Amino acid sequence: MRNLAIGDIHAPCQHPGYLAFCRDLYEDYGCDSVTFIGDVCDWHAISFHAAHPDAPGPSDEFELAHQEIEHWAKAFPVAKVCIGNHDERIVRLAETVNIPSRFIRDYKETWGTPGWDWSHEHIKDDVYYFHGTGNGGQYPAYNAMKKMLMSTVMGHIHTASGVKWAANPQRRIFGMDTGCGIDDKAYAFAYGKHMKARSILSAGVILDGIPFPHVMPCGPGEKYHRSNYKVEETPKRSTFIPKSVVQIVQESKSRKAKPHVGKAQKSKVPARPVCPDRGTRGAARAPVRGPCN
């Protein structure tokens, strides 16, 4: 089996060249299967952490992510998907308010991916694939491999990419970190702008149980640099306010600034005397018959 292992995407916050990079790997190696390692979507808007002020709301983030996932599903219509911690945010949020799982749509229906098999773990050619939730350290996949006692491929840790081996007289096993395909400049990853360890954009190919990690050439002047792709700016949160709400707010402010006075009311309002010291510029000053207030 020739399997392409795709790292965390975090749609709609993926690097603009990552899809092309993964598609090229698939074709160059003649792959016959695909595994998404998880966190296909980001769900920044419903995070348990504070949302970035420039991020879109939940409904709009879903639409943006859905558009990106459609491109991935078109490129890889049949695939295995490891459910990541970000993918599960909808389920976790529902559980906090006691909503049973029967009321939540499954991932295939939500994202329109009938050919994708969503599960927390998959095994191909005696290699264990999972997202990596709860695992970390300097060599995350290798650490998970020691727990599973079998070759392991995982994502989750964006700064980890590569392969580390272990062997005994009868067999050898490996742990491979896929890296990721995120855009570090996106609003969802603003929290890491001062971190010295940067994300490694990469993916892996596993040929009959043997891993081949590949880092994406995305630096200035390289094939997958962002300058080679048209990148649309993510709409700001303010642009997602429904028009009706905007109109209501504007009308409310207008009413407060200019109170309405009807014709009947105008006829009953007595003329205010003009103070010589406060007369309107350029207007004749009428004689004052009463005190100036």
Q: Degrees (nearest 5) of the Cα angle 31, 17, 91?
A: 80
As for how many domains the chain has, the answer is: 2
Q: What range defines the domain where residue 267 resides?
A: 243-278
The pLDDT score that the predictor gives to residue 170 is 94
Q: Are residues 83 and 202 in the same domain?
A: yes
Structure tokens at 241: 């306010």
User: Cβ neighbours of residue 212 under 8 Å, at least 6 residues apart?
Assistant: 29, 204, 205, 206
Residue 103 lies in a domain: yes
Residue 90 lies in a domain: yes
Q: What does each C-alpha distance from 2 to 89, 174, 213 come to in angstroms? A: 31, 17, 13
Beta-bridged to residue 163, according to DSSP, are: 176
Q: What is the residue-level pLDDT of the chain in tens, covering all 293 positions?
A: 999 999 999 999 999 999 999 999 999 999 999 999 999 999 999 988 888 888 999 999 999 999 999 999 999 999 999 999 999 999 999 999 999 989 999 999 999 999 999 999 999 999 999 999 999 999 999 999 999 999 999 999 999 999 999 999 999 999 999 999 999 999 999 888 888 899 999 999 999 999 999 999 999 999 999 999 987 655 554 344 444 445 555 665 565 555 554 444 444 545 554 444 444 444 444 444 444 43
Find where tokens 């028009």 sit.
Answer: 243
Q: Are residues 71 and 164 in the same domain?
A: yes
Residue 220 lies in a domain: yes
Residue 62 lies in a domain: yes
Q: Are residues 224 and 252 in the same domain?
A: no
* 58: enclosing H helix or E strand: helix 58-75
Q: What does each C-alpha distance from 179 to 7, 132, 159, 163, 216 come to in angstroms? A: 6, 12, 6, 11, 10
Find where tokens 């650490």 sit.
Answer: 143
Q: Are residues 127 and 194 in the same domain?
A: yes
* 95: enclosing H helix or E strand: helix 89-96
Q: Are residues 249 and 154 in the same domain?
A: no
CATH (domain of 135): 3.60.21.10
Question: Are 213 and 40 within 8 A, CB to CB?
Answer: no
Q: Are residues 249 and 124 in the same domain?
A: no
Residue 132 lies in a domain: yes
Residue 290 lies in a domain: no
Q: Are residues 182 and 273 in the same domain?
A: no
The pLDDT score that the predictor gives to residue 272 is 52
Q: Are residues 255 and 217 in the same domain?
A: no
Q: What does each C-alpha distance from 17 to 24, 165, 240 come to in angstroms? A: 11, 30, 27
Q: Give the closest residue to 16 by CA, choosing from 160, 188, 225.
A: 225
The pLDDT score that the predictor gives to residue 249 is 52
Distance CA 188, CA 250 (A): 31
Q: Are residues 45 and 73 in the same domain?
A: yes
Question: Are 177 and 199 within 8 A, CB to CB?
Answer: no
Residue 292 lies in a domain: no
Residue 202 lies in a domain: yes
Q: Give the closest residue to 123 by CA, choosing from 155, 82, 86, 164.
A: 82
Strand ranges for the chain from DSSP E:
2-6, 33-36, 79-82, 116-119, 121-124, 127-130, 152-154, 161-167, 172-178, 202-207, 210-215
Q: Are residues 29 and 156 in the same domain?
A: yes
Beta-bridged to residue 215, according to DSSP, are: 202
Beta-bridged to residue 4, according to DSSP, are: 34, 205
The pLDDT score that the predictor gives to residue 266 is 47
Q: Are residues 7 and 53 in the same domain?
A: yes
Q: Give the closest residue to 181 by CA, choosing from 54, 71, 283, 53.
A: 71
Q: Are residues 145 and 274 in the same domain?
A: no
For residue 91, the Cα-to-chain-centroid distance in whole angstroms is 17
Phi, psi of 139 (to 5 degrees): -125, 80
Q: β-pairing, 121-124 with 127-130?
A: antiparallel
Tell me, what amino acid is at 60?
D
